Amino acid sequence: MSTEPSDTWLTAIKELEIRLVSLRTSSFEKRPIDTSDHVADKLRLVAAHKIRSFFISALAPFRASITTNLQITQSSFLLKYRPLFAFLQRHSARVANEVQKAYVGTARWYFETSFRRYVRALEKIKARGWTKVGLVGDPQSSATALDDSIISQSKLDGSDVVLAYLAEDPSFQQPPEALFRSLSLVAIDNAISEWSFANHFFGQLSLGTQQVPESGSTLFPNTSRLDLGPASVSGSSTPMIRKGSFVSSIADSDSYLTGSPSEMNSNSGMNEQKTQTAIDLVFKQVIEPVFEYHKTFTSSLLTMNDLPDTNSIYAMIQLNEGLLSAASTNCPAFETHLMAIKMKLWPIFQTKMNKEIESVSLQSQRKEPNVKLVCQKYVWFFSTMIGMESPREDSNSGGTGEEGKVINELLKLREALVSFIQNHAQKLSSLTDSSRKSYLSSIYQEIQTGLMAFPSNHVRSQSEAAYWRELVWRAK
């Protein structure tokens, strides 16, 4: 009673709990209460009070500054002393609830402040604009921005995320898909870390159950858990493997202790369901600001007067698919949020694709269209679109589902391009039939060569090159 919680308490609290469990078991046997029972109960009350102060004091630094790393505190302190909190859950639920509320309030403020500052930096970068490629048939655009860097922005393991301090450089620019990717990776990585922590700290383990650290700490250990400057959302956590059954971690009273140990074990399935519901609520309360900032910033990218290029939208779609896959395994609570974003992206993509096709078709009406530029942009457009397809889709040559929709749109775009090239060749009155064939052959050859310059194992990329090779042969 004269000491404060420390490493030595981890062993002592087990001994006290064994005594308390024995006391509770004996109460069912109607054994007379003796002095040792009163001492044990008094020790329970004192321990609960000291453990409460112990945990709440550890959260105090976060109320003053977010430079303290939350994930490090979780792994090196909270999870380390998890048995003390488990003691509260089993023997002083009201106090455990107080600690839980203190954590939720602190962690929510930490994430809200961190992401508000990070999004503010991304907004500053977004306001500077970016180099736009424009539509395939846009005569005002150029081919200077035609590279395949956009492909890496569609992958979870692609480019590095944007650091907040880079916003202070007035010359620093990033395309919208890069900003979306940066915020998305930081958001989901922190969400996964927090989901793991909530499940393994607030879920109550049975007495004597051990927690075993996993080898990996986050989904993206080298990319998105970054020091973002004053708005740090960085750190690392040590996810724990859940073992044994749980009982409720946010009970309003000690009433759940009224049954015997055997009775509580028999209801472990029901208790675990209640516990998971409670954990879901804790996670939602903590991480809600992250979801809200991610939603608001994404909406700002998609409601601008000048929408991102079609490829940019598709890069965001593909990244979002990767995020959905990661969330389904590591953080199911993130899925609903990502599905809402998916529902926003696809209609915009369809509208942009319609404009791409229309832009090429309208080239036939121009007196002096830049055929070479249109072909260069088509090659880049097709190659990057296919390059952003995931390996999962690469194996699907049937063109079904969402990939099938994209392939169909690309086929429509190709038809519009072929029609434009052939119509333009017919309008060149200076060409003879023989020279017209040579002209068409050279255009088709340039497209084929351009496609071959983008290395891809995707079956659609190979069939596309074969299609233009066939046109070259026919034109000769």
The whole-number pLDDT of residue 205 equals 62
Best mean pLDDT range from 19-33, 385-399, 408-422? 408-422
State how far the Cα of 41 lies from the Cα of 22, in Å rounded to an integer. 12
Q: Name the 3-class secondary structure at 8.
A: helix
Query: What are the residue boundaries of the structural domains of the chain, listed by start?
Result: 1-112
Rounded to the nearest 10°, the torsion over CA 441, 443, 447, 450 is 110
Express each pLDDT in 282-337 by its tens digit.
Answer: 999 999 999 999 999 999 999 877 899 999 999 999 999 999 999 998 898 899 99
Phi, psi (rounded to 5 degrees) for 56:
-65, -35
Q: Is the pLDDT of residue 437 over 80?
A: yes
Express each pLDDT in 251-261 by its tens digit.
Answer: 233 332 333 33
Length of the chain: 476
Q: What is the pTM of this model?
A: 0.83
State how far the Cα of 362 lies from the Cα of 2, in Å rounded to an integer. 85
State how far the Cα of 153 lies from the Cα of 149, in Å rounded to an integer. 7
Q: Is the pLDDT of residue 215 over 50?
A: no
The band of 239, judged by pLDDT with boundaries at 50, 70 and 90, is very low
The band of 159, judged by pLDDT with boundaries at 50, 70 and 90, is confident
The whole-number pLDDT of residue 15 equals 86
The whole-number pLDDT of residue 194 equals 96
State how far the Cα of 164 lies from the Cα of 129, in Å rounded to an integer. 17
The whole-number pLDDT of residue 460 equals 87
State how far the Cα of 204 lies from the Cα of 257, in Å rounded to an integer. 13
Q: Is the pLDDT of residue 192 over 60?
A: yes
Q: Is the pLDDT of residue 83 over 80?
A: yes
Mean pLDDT of 47-67: 91
The whole-number pLDDT of residue 265 equals 37
Q: Are 134 and 355 in contact (CB under 8 A)?
A: no
Q: Name the 3-class secondary structure at 213.
A: strand
The whole-number pLDDT of residue 72 equals 92
Helix axis angle for 310-330 and 335-361, nearest 10°, is 160
Q: Which two tokens stand for residue 109?
A: 């403020």
Element (H, E) at 212: strand 212-213
Express each pLDDT in 175-188 by its tens digit.
Answer: 999 999 999 999 99
State how far the Cα of 88 lies from the Cα of 107, in Å rounded to an integer. 20
